[in-house]
């Protein structure tokens, strides 16, 4: 799930954009703190996750990048 909310864990400006770590050349981030990435409720994922490279990056069952306060994630199990 990719959004246009600020990249808060960035070492530089909070409004910076970034590129995802999961082999997808997708840019995320921006200035919309109320970004609505939609809703994901009552979801269960089994046998998910993959190490992408040898430097400890993973693709997990649920990944969200810069989703804002309008996004709802409830009761997710992996």
* Residue 65, beta-bridge partner list: 2
Please state, in angstroms and rounded to a whole number, the distance separating the CA atoms of residues 60 and 78: 9
Supply the pLDDT for residue 18.
Answer: 81
> Is 17's pLDDT higher than 90?
no
pLDDT given for residue 55 in this prediction:
65
What would the DSSP string read from start to end of 60-72?
-SS--BS--TT-E
Does the pLDDT of residue 49 top 60, yes or no? Answer: yes
Q: Quick check: 70 and 34 in contact, CB under 8 A?
A: yes
**Could you give the CA distance from residue 69 to residue 50 in angstroms, rounded to a whole number?**
28
3-state SS assignment for residue 9: coil
- What is the value of pTM for the model shown? 0.69
User: Which of the four pLDDT bands, split at 50, 70 and 90, describes residue 11?
Assistant: low
Give the pLDDT band of residue 45 (cuts 50, 70, 90): confident
């Amino acid at each position: 799930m990719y959004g246009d909310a600020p990249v808060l864990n960035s070492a530089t400006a909070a409004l910076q954009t970034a590129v995802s770590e999961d082999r997808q050349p997708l840019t995320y981030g921006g200035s919309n703190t109320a970004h609505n990435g939609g809703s994901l409720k009552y979801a269960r994922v089994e046998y998910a996750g993959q190490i992408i490279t040898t430097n400890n990056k993973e693709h997990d069952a649920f990944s969200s990048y810069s989703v804002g306060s309008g996004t709802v994630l409830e009761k997710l199990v992996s």
